[in-house]
Amino acid sequence: MKKFGFGFMRLPTLPGGGEGDIDYPKAFEMVDYFLSQGFTYFDIARGYMEGNCEAAFNKCVAQRYERDKYVLTDKLTVDYFKTREDILPLIENQLKVTGAGYFDYYFLHSVSRLTYPKFLSCGALEILRPLKEKGLVKHIGISYHDKSDFLDEILTAHPEIEVVQIQFNYADYRDTGIDSRGVYETARKHNKPVLVMEPVKGGILSRLPERAMAVISELNEELSVSPSRGSSPASYAIRFAASFEGIMMVLSGMNNLEQVVENTSFMKDFVPLNPREYEALEKVNEILKATDAIPCTNCRYCTSGCPQNIRIPDLFACLNSKRSFNEWGSEFYYEVNTASGGKASDCIDCGQCEDACPQHLEIRSLLREVAEVFEKKEEENGN
Ligand code: SF4
Ligand code: SF4
């Protein structure tokens, strides 16, 4: 299996439509190209694409390809069950909605100190065991969002967990808040193959500020990089993650055909990073840390529970764009995002979003910064 997978969480959407209004002709093209290049792995979850992800997978892949042409991972998310009795019918429904017949991998989704007690008290892993015996789930795994010590506890108590999906990218590798390196090393200590999510940190590592881009350009010139090797910032970020020992798969939530064409070109005959490339990424990382960007990955776990309907990651993106690139359009996008959702200052401090955030961001305090930057200006203009 080639070690690059297609995450179905940022599929193209119809112009003016919401996240769930998938542009199927475009999505078909992306899937067809991905499979035509010899890649097979898809990652889905019930909550992605405003709840339409599993049905989209059925339409894009299961109805159009034989079952042996793809490998599929689906997940059990705590938001979709209340009691132990809910879990089996939920998984049966996921099998039906995806049309996949069986799951190659089935993960407990977004495991952390917050969600794990519910998985445990509802006996989620016990329920998966007989499904595995019946061949409906081939392998059991977890997608993980917490520190290494807690992962160690979980993997020690549950050796039946076969694979671990983690957030891993060059910006988070040494970040003590995210503990990417520690989590990776813990999974490997338990001999678990590792799957990587967010290799480009929700797009942050693909849109580098000018000074960081100059480092990449210099590198490409020096190495006379051919396009099939990958020369974009995203290509280096994906290859960084894939270069580590024990990485089974690097996932990308691709949004258009160009991304699929580019990513498959350099992951087809994958070449690990060389020392000069590592050195350049170190430099890029130093520049990024100095720009003070909010490390939000746009996973959107925070938005569904917000009583004020604040488009939290979009407002953070506006602030990042203003800080990193001094981008003129960020004020405009702030207005667009707050026209269809609450303003940063509408936050009522309930804290739900912070409980849901896998990056452990202090969302409320960051929203105050957002309001300070964007809403002061509005007040001055008398809006
Ligand atoms: S703390 Fe603010 S942003 Fe977070 S969920 Fe509550 S109202 Fe929404
Ligand atoms: S604030 Fe946290 S939960 Fe919300 S989108 Fe960003 S990283 Fe995800």
In ligand 1, the atom with minimum distance to the C-alpha of 312 is 3
CA distances from 314 to 162, 209, 229, 298 (A): 35, 18, 32, 8
CA distance 306 to 314: 14
How would residue 177 be classed by pLDDT, with cut points 50, 70 and 90?
low
CA distance 266 to 284: 20
- Is-contact 267 37, C-beta < 8 A? no
For 117, the token pair is 């007690």
Determine which of 109-113, 127-131, 261-265, 379-383 has the lowest per-residue pLDDT on average. Answer: 379-383
How would residue 173 be classed by pLDDT, with cut points 50, 70 and 90?
confident
- Is-contact 238 252, C-beta < 8 A? yes
**φ, ψ at 209 (rounded to 5°):** -65, 165
How much distance in Å is there from the Cα of 90 to the middle of ligand 1? Answer: 29
CA distance 91 to 149: 30
What's the number of CA atoms in the CB half-sphere (13 Å) around residue 67?
8
Q: Relative to the alpha carbon of 307, which ligand is closest? A: 1
pLDDT in tens, 83-133: 999 999 999 999 999 999 999 999 999 998 888 999 999 999 999 999 999
Substitution site in 114, 359, 369, 370 for ligand 2 pocket (most atoms within 8 Å of beta carbon): 359
CA distance 75 to 305: 20
Ligand 1 neighbours by CB, cut-off 6 Å: 305-308, 310, 312, 347-353, 363-364, 367
How would residue 176 be classed by pLDDT, with cut points 50, 70 and 90?
low
CA distance 250 to 253: 10
Q: Which residues contact 155 (CB under 8 A, 6 or more apart)?
A: 161, 164, 186, 187, 190, 192
Pick from 41, 69, 55: which is nearest to 97 by CA? 55
Residue whose entry in the numeric block shows the structure tokens 């789930």: 137
Task: Fill in the amino acid letter for 137.
Answer: V
**Percentage with pLDDT > 90 across the chain:** 72
Substitution site in 306, 316, 355, 365 for ligand 1 pocket (most atoms within 8 Å of beta carbon): 306
pLDDT at 26 over 60: yes
Q: Does pTM surpass 0.75?
A: yes
Span 288-304, average pLDDT = 83
N residues, the chain = 383
CA distance 274 to 367: 40
pLDDT at 186 over 60: yes
Task: List the residue whose alpha carbon is closest to atom 6 of ligand 1.
Answer: 350
Q: Which residues contact 193 (CB under 8 A, 6 or more apart)?
A: 162, 163, 164, 246, 247, 248
Task: List the residue whose alpha carbon is closest to atom 7 of ligand 1.
Answer: 347
Q: Can you give the pLDDT at residue 175?
A: 66
Pick from 52, 33, 62, 1: which is nearest to 254 by CA? 33
User: What are the chain's domains?
Assistant: 4-288 (3.20.20.100), 312-380 (no CATH)
How much distance in Å is there from the Cα of 345 to the middle of ligand 2? Answer: 18
pLDDT at 294 over 50: yes
